Amino acid sequence: MTYHLYAIGNALVDTEYEVSEDQLLTAGVAKRHMTLIDSPRRAELLQHVHSVKSHRTGGGSAGNTVVALAQLGGRAFYSCRVADDELGDFYTKDLLAHGVATNLTHTKPSKGQTGSCMVMVTPDAERSMSTFLGATADIDATALHPHDIVKARVYYMEGYLAASPTGLAAALQGRAIAAQAGVKLATTLSDMSMINFCRTGLDAMVSDDLDFLFCNEEEAQVWCGTTDLAQICQHMARQARTVCLTRSAKGCLVLEGGTITEVPAAQVKAIDTNGAGDMFAGAFLYAVTHSHSHAQAAWLANQCAGRVVAQYGNRLSHEAMASLKGDFAQHIANS
């Protein structure tokens, strides 16, 4: 079996809560950021939202990306780590239900708690994440399947792994295996907090002949230390052969050397931005591994990301993805 995408990242079960600005403030959650929390803090936050309606899905940034690619018809493999508990069983079954191959079917999970992410969504559609890593904090090179990495088209590293010494080491070991086999390399800056606190790890992921880099405008501003878009584009273009810089309702910029291609966003009303960047990366990588141009790939990625922010939740239904794939085929025919 060959894969269009082989990814390594965190295994997290997402639980979403629709909260007010006051509730977010009272809970002491940093808006728009991903914050790592421990078990006592998680218990405290659960008390704050105990009466709030919630929705549970499989998550993890790269997990969302591989599921998006698989839903569009690509073949994906995901290396991750869960514990021997109900959430771990839920996560494994969720990947398999979406057609994603995983190391989890070949290894017995350890004792402990599977990672989880509490996603608080405010009325302005912004997501604020409190992440309890649990078992995924200890992901290491045993999660890798080198024989599958070398048969993939693209090897993708989740930027959040920069927060885990063993996870970063595993991602970089997989990167070396992929590079030696001529597999294209991809990663994402993931979140402003990763850039602020884990820059060295991200630098290691981004360095040396990276093919694809994904980030949003706010992350790029922090990465470059400026809000000047021209300077950002000039700097970011040197980070990878192809850089996708997403700009919410303004669409995205595809940076390739000295070329900047602007691709418009889908026209939607955003109600929940959770998973938008992950969806963008999955759809983009699906398209480029299926012989489409980068501009065409960005068009599909914008449409898919637009659809996911127009609903609550980080994943789209199979029916929605099938519809988007049909729209993409029509777009290609008309262009």
Helices 86-97 and 61-71: angle between axes, nearest 10 degrees = 30
Amino acid at 141: A
pLDDT mean over 314-322: 93
Give dist(CA 112, CA 318) in Å, integer: 32
pLDDT mean over 172-177: 98
Give dist(CA 212, CA 228) in Å, integer: 22
Q: List pLDDT tens digits, range 80-121.
A: 999 999 999 999 999 999 999 999 999 889 899 999 999 999
Q: Residue 116's domain spans which residues?
A: 3-334
The answer to whether 275 and 234 have CB atoms below 8 angstroms apart is no
Model confidence band, residue 313 (pLDDT cutoffs 50, 70, 90): confident
Whether residue 312 is predicted with pLDDT greater than 90 in this model: the reply is no
Q: How many CB atoms lie within 10 A of CB 226?
A: 13
User: Which SS3 state, helix, strand or coil, does residue 6 take?
Assistant: strand
CATH number at 154 reads: 3.40.1190.20
CA-closest candidate to residue 285, choices 77, 79, 69: 69
Residue 80: exposed, middle, or buried by beta-carbon count in 10 A (0-12, 13-18, 19+)? buried
Q: CA 16 → CA 93, 118, 196, 274, distances in Å? A: 20, 6, 25, 9
Q: List pLDDT tens digits, range 27-71.
A: 999 999 899 999 999 999 999 999 998 989 999 999 999 999 999
- DSSP annotation of 233: H
The tokens for 63 are 């997990």
Q: How many domains does the chain have?
A: 1
Whether residue 154 is predicted with pLDDT greater than 90 in this model: the reply is yes
> Containing H/E element for 18?
strand 12-18
The tokens for 192 are 């402003």
Q: How many CB atoms lie within 10 A of CB 325?
A: 18
